Structure 1
Amino acid sequence: MDISILNVALLILAGLFAGFINTLAGSGSLITLPLLMFLGLSPHQANATNRIAIFFQNVVAVRNFKQQGLIHYKSSLFLVVPALIGSIIGASIAISINEDILNLFIGSLLFVMFFIILLKPDKWVKAQAGQANEKPAVWQIVIFFFIGVYGGFIQAGVGFFLLAGLVLGVGYDLIEANAIKVFIVLTYTAVALVIFIWSGQVNFIYGIILAIGNASGAFIASKYAQQIGVKYIRYILLTTVFVAAVKVLLL
């Protein structure tokens, strides 16, 4: 498959920004997913190909967070396992859903996430950080199962749901929640990616190029997570998401 230098540059730059945002907060796929579609991939192919970048992005982020002592694998398993099981269901739905419906879902999701970002969700998350101290309960397992279903189906926006569940539901502070979030996403993405590869919908050339950008962005964000804020990222993301939503729905 031929790919231009411009396309390579766009993929790496978009991946760099997306990896940075995904590691600090979430919704970086709201940038990469529409870009893959604009470059000629179908909604199914874009959704599948994006998972390569997400996987390598989180490999890098998990490694850095682990070195900082922010991830404890054993204590995270009760969240990882239900999300992983849910992702299998979500990915299985994604590979077989009607393409027009998937396209409409992606475009609608972009608009929904625009307003969620506009309402500054990180503000209410931060306000509650560390206040929830309940032990693992059935309702928490159920919540992370459905987050896994959503993440397996379509990655975009799952970071906000995970942060809300980890902070409000489990009691992690925002920095710890970001670390556990990337571990959960890495685990279920590995399984979901196998399903997408098996379906034959992954474009490996685009996926690997995008992964270079995502991994680089994740490295920067996870390395300096405790010094970097998300205030200015939100404004850039708002503009990008709105434009992408309009283009996806019009296309």
Structure 2
Amino acid sequence: MEILHLFYLFIAGIIAGFINVVAGGGSLLTLPLLIFMGLPPATANATNRLGVITNSIFGVLGFRSKGVSAWPYSLYLGISGAIGAYLGARISMDIPEDIFNKIIALIMVMVVLTIIFQKKSGQDGLAERMGLKHKVAGYVTFFFIGIYGGFLQAGAGFLIMAALVGINHFSLVKTNSAKVLIVLIYTLSSLVVFIIAGIIHWGYAIVLAAGSSIGGWIASRWSVDKGDVWIKRLLVVMVIVLAIKLWFYDT
């Protein structure tokens, strides 16, 4: 059964890694899966982060190989997010298991609603806004996004994309390229908190990370020329099913 779990986790990592780069929300699949495999919510939340990091690394490399980058602005946003992520990660470890499951399920439903009703993901054709006031607005916004990302991570990609599009008018491709670097930086911050706390299941984390790396690399190459509509539709269906199951799941 353990080998079967690892196989499922590896495949889920590939799928989630792909979704994370192209559309966002991959952790909405892997986090519930880790819980259903028997991990306490806090441990599942921490274990999921290694896959997010490796996925982001390969995503960054993939976008750079295509010449797509928002450097150094994305670096500064990531640092701002890392400060918030440290706080969010510490908060997440103090929540009771049954309440944590309910929180995850509710957030999953909220993300589904966001996917359904959100407007176009990128602002192709509009002039980018990179003045001082827009940069400052980005730094402040990403501090709070970092708090959420450190707390849970699931669905944070949608917040990041909305912020980059709304504040800076980035195109879809540039938004995704900035997103993977930002997520990499602030997730490293939260991972340090979880490592110190000793709550990571390293066996599951490594398998998930391997799958996520493959998915992230494929997606970073693919998403330069393709859309994300069909992926979001599929994600909506899967997340609804998992959210319902998680709400009634007895840890």
TM-score, normalised via structure 1 length: 0.93
Do the aligned partners of residues 224 and 124 (structure 1) sit closer, same or farther apart at CA in structure 2, a change above 3 Å counting?
closer
Conserved? CA contact 1:91–1:153, under 8 Å: yes
Q: Hey, what's the Cα distance between the residues in 1 that align with 2:224 and 2:69?
A: 14
C-alpha deviation, 1:129, in angstroms: 6.5
SS at match of 1:73: coil
C-alpha deviation, 1:131, in angstroms: 4.5
Do the aligned partners of residues 99 and 151 (structure 1) sit closer, same or farther apart at CA in structure 2, a change above 3 Å counting?
same
Q: Residues 169-180 of structure 1: matches in 2 within 5 Å?
A: 169-180=167-178
Residue 160, structure 1, aligned to residue 158, structure 2: yes
Q: Hey, what's the Cα distance between the residues in 1 that align with 2:244 and 2:207?
A: 26
C-alpha deviation, 1:56, in angstroms: 0.7
% identity of equivalent residues: 40
Residue 125, structure 1, aligned to residue 116, structure 2: no
C-alpha deviation, 1:9, in angstroms: 1.8
Report the AA paired with residue 33 of structure 2.
Answer: L
Conserved? CA contact 1:129–1:171, under 8 Å: no
Report the AA paired with residue 71 of structure 1.
Answer: S
Report the AA paired with residue 149 of structure 1.
Answer: I
Offset from partner CA, 1:117-157 (integer Å, 9 cap, x none): 222x2x33335774451414333221111001110111100
Offset from partner CA, 1:75-124 (integer Å, 9 cap, x none): 333312211111111111112223232221101111111211222x2x33
Which residue number corresponds to residue 28 of structure 1?
A: 26
Q: Hey, what's the Cα distance between the residues in 2 that align with 1:189 and 1:206?
A: 17
Which residue number corresponds to residue 248 of structure 1?
A: 246
Which residue number corresponds to residue 69 of structure 1?
A: 67
Do the aligned partners of residues 194 and 226 (structure 1) sit closer, same or farther apart at CA in structure 2, a change above 3 Å counting?
same
Do the aligned partners of residues 196 and 136 (structure 1) sit closer, same or farther apart at CA in structure 2, a change above 3 Å counting?
farther
SS at match of 1:172: coil
Extract unaligned runs of 5+ from structure 2: none
Q: Hey, what's the Cα distance between the residues in 1 that align with 2:233 and 2:169?
A: 27
Q: Hey, what's the Cα distance between the residues in 1 that align with 2:7 and 2:226?
A: 25
Q: Hey, what's the Cα distance between the residues in 2 that align with 1:222 and 1:235?
A: 20
Q: Hey, what's the Cα distance between the residues in 1 that align with 2:125 and 2:189?
A: 30
Conserved? CA contact 2:83–2:189, under 8 Å: no
Which residue number corresponds to residue 98 of structure 2?
A: 100
Aligned-residue CA RMSD (Å): 1.6
Do the aligned partners of residues 140 and 74 (structure 1) sit closer, same or farther apart at CA in structure 2, a change above 3 Å counting?
closer
Count, aligned residues: 247
C-alpha deviation, 1:13, in angstroms: 1.2
SS at match of 1:12: helix
Report the AA paired with residue 92 of structure 1.
Answer: R
Do the aligned partners of residues 129 and 108 (structure 1) sit closer, same or farther apart at CA in structure 2, a change above 3 Å counting?
farther
C-alpha deviation, 1:249, in angstroms: 0.4
Which residue number corresponds to residue 84 of structure 1?
A: 82
Residue 195, structure 1, aligned to residue 170, structure 2: no
C-alpha deviation, 1:73, in angstroms: 3.3
TM-score, normalised via structure 2 length: 0.93
SS at match of 2:200: coil
Report the AA paired with residue 83 of structure 2.
Answer: I
C-alpha deviation, 1:226, in angstroms: 1.3
Which residue number corresponds to residue 57 of structure 1?
A: 55
Offset from partner CA, 1:179-235 (integer Å, 9 cap, x none): 010000001111111111111110000111111111110010001221232121122
